[in-house]
Structure 1
Amino acid sequence: MLKIGFENGKYILDSVGTSSLAAIVTSIGIYTIRKYVNWGERNITYFMCFAAGVLISASFLHIIPKSLSMNPNAAVYLLVGYFGLHLLNRFLTVLVCQKNPEKEKYGLGLVPMIGIGFHSFIDGFIYSIAFTVSVFTGFIATAGMVLHEFPEGIITYLLLIRGGVSEKKAMVLSFIAAALTTPLGMLFSYPLISEIDKPMLGALLSLSAGALIYVGATHLLPRAEKEHKKYSFVALGGGVLVAVLIVLSKA
């Protein structure tokens, strides 16, 4: 079992505070891109490349190695996470988009929203567990995780818009998926913290990594490459660099 400390209520206050900070950072990203939505639409290819760089690199450099160190069967959950989101995409394409031609592009926004939402929910678990280990561990985890919250909110909102969702609905959905899920994950996991051992957390991390790799490598990059934007590779490299900074901040 992970080391648990319930000496006082400080741990849960710290967890609530930092998970709320992550939600606020994501919300700022959503608000900012909504205010400049026309600019965001013109540059969505760059946002897709940047987000793909962050999601793929962070998964391979940190989430997957961490999950493998916690659960020897993490690779199985990685595969389940990847193909689970693939099957969801197929389901949306066949049963929703094909039967409702006016919703043909819905999958473009909904699949990343679900993948990012699940990952943000697991982030809430990590905040909760990190602070029960120690306050210092919690703040170190927070420093790295908050870095990737801002672009997650932006890309979730823009892809929902590109998928045909109205601006108001896109704002609500992206807030729920990319921002609200983190404190919800923390609150959901905290009462169960004594039941969450390393193998279970490793499995959850691996599931989220599989989902993020699908979103980045199979969903975002192929669509971005169709746009043939001049500086798309630079945006991808920027995302990779941010992921490296996230990993270094957790080292």
Structure 2
Amino acid sequence: MTLTYILLATLVGGIASVVIAASLTHAVLSRVVKHLVSLSAGVLLSTALLHVLPEAFESGVDAHKLFLTLLAGLLFFFLLEKAELYRHNHHHEGDGHHHHHHFDREQAGRGGLSVLVGDGIHNFCDGFIIAAAFLADHHLGWVTAMAIIAHEIPQEVGDYIVLLNAGFSRAKALLFNALSGFAAVLGGLAGYFLAGHWEGIFPYLLVVAASSFVYVSVADLIPQLQRRLPWRETAAQLLWLGTGVTLVLLLVGGPHAGHAH
């Protein structure tokens, strides 16, 4: 039954964003993404701090080791993002460089493929994390899957927009996004068959998952929200952030409810 849950959660996570991207127009996508960013930040932070980390710390593993893992995880995701930034060698419109159209398309195409490769690896890791959470506790698995899906939807929709700008047709962008999303299912399978043999590493995997959530929220999502905006847009941000936190609280049943195997 656990394997079925893992496959279902990773499949929904991989496909939901593609379905949403397919059903919305480019203009609507651009407007919706900013609200999804606020929602994701609320979901990821509250999942990490109210559910995943407490679950790991209640395992009985030495707290110092878990905090060291949390620090290592945050530094790892920082370095991973650095590597991604260095690998993305694309130029910007107003950079003072004059490139002919063919060069633009070539560079954009490379950027699109780079996004897909990075996204595939990211999705595989997400699948592994979901599997580890389900193996530890079914309730934790669903909450973790929901947090990942909440982040994946704006990310995948954003990637879809990048691919369209890179010259991909709408159908091709959706197909490649779906293939990238399917990597989460492969990660879930790998997690189920590999992590099951080493139950002692579950608390550490959960802390790594939490460090991913915290890093993405604090380093990526929240900075996107930190702009001077009209009060209505600021209120909308707070509303969507609060909705994300409330969703997790409702699913968890208050700050870290007990196990639900």
Name the CA shift for 1:86/1:24 in 2 (closer, same or farther; >3 Å): same
Matched, 1:50 2:39: yes
Query: After superposition, where does 1:92-241 map in structure 2 within 5 Å?
Result: 92-94=84-86, 96-97=87-88, 99-101=89-91, 117-127=124-134, 129-130=135-136, 138=138, 140-141=139-140, 143-148=142-147, 150-163=149-162, 166=168, 171=174, 174-175=177-178, 180-181=183-184, 183-192=185-194, 195-198=197-200, 200-226=201-227, 228=229, 229-230=233-234, 231-241=236-246
Q: Which has the larger radius of gyration?
A: 2
* 1:112–1:69 CA distance, 2 compared to 1 (3 A): farther
Task: Compute the TM-score of the two structures, normalised by the length of structure 1.
Answer: 0.73
2:244 paired with 1:244: no
Task: Decide whether the 8 Å contact of 2:143 with 2:248 is kept in 1.
Answer: no
Structure 1 91/109 Cα, relative in aligned 2: closer, same or farther at 3 Å?
Answer: same
Aligned CA distance change for structure 1 residues 118 and 221 (closer, same or farther; 3 Å): same
**Identity, % of aligned positions:** 19
Letter in 2 for 1:234: L
2:43/2:245 contact within 8 Å kept: yes
User: What's the CA shift string for 1:48-70, capped at 9, x where partnerless?
Assistant: 11111111110011111222233
CA distance in 1, matches of 2:124, 2:149: 14
3-state SS of 1:158 partner: helix
Task: Identify if the C-alpha distance between structure 1 residues 23 and 159 changes in structure 2 by more than 3 Å, giving closer, same or farther.
Answer: same
Partners of 1:215 and 1:105 lie apart in 2 by 21
Contact 1:81 1:211 in 2 (8 A): yes
Task: Give 1:193 deviation, angstroms.
Answer: 5.1
1:20 to 2:7 alignment: yes
**Which letter maps to 1:34?**
A
Distance (whole Å) between structure 1 residues aligned to residue 175 and residue 73 of structure 2: 25
Partner of 1:133: none
Kindly state the Cα deviation for residue 192 of structure 1 after the two structures are TM-superposed: 3.8
Question: Following the alignment from structure 2 to structure 1, what is the Cα–Cα distance between the partners of residues 132 and 47?
Answer: 18
Are 2:9 and 2:142, in contact at CA under 8 Å, matched by a contact in 1? no
**What amino acid does structure 2 have at the position aligned with 1:92?**
E
- Partner SS, residue 56 of structure 1: helix
The residue type equivalent to 1:100 in the other structure is H
d(CA) in 2 for partners of 1:196 and 1:30? 33
Corresponding residue pairs, total: 226
Q: 70, 75, 82: which one pairs with 2:67?
A: 75
Whole-angstrom CA distance in 2 between matches of 1:75 and 1:240: 23
Residue 142 (structure 1) shift? 5.1
Gaps of 5+ in 1: 1-13, 131-136
Q: Is 2:19 the partner of 1:31? A: yes
1:77/1:206 contact within 8 Å kept: yes
Distance 2:175 2:11 in 1: 14
Determine helix, strand or coil for the equivalent of 2:58: helix
Residue ranges of structure 2 left out of the alignment (5+ in a row): 92-106
| Deviation at residue 44 of structure 1 after TM alignment | 1.2
Moved more, 169-178 or 72-81: 169-178
Structure 2 length as normaliser, TM-score? 0.71
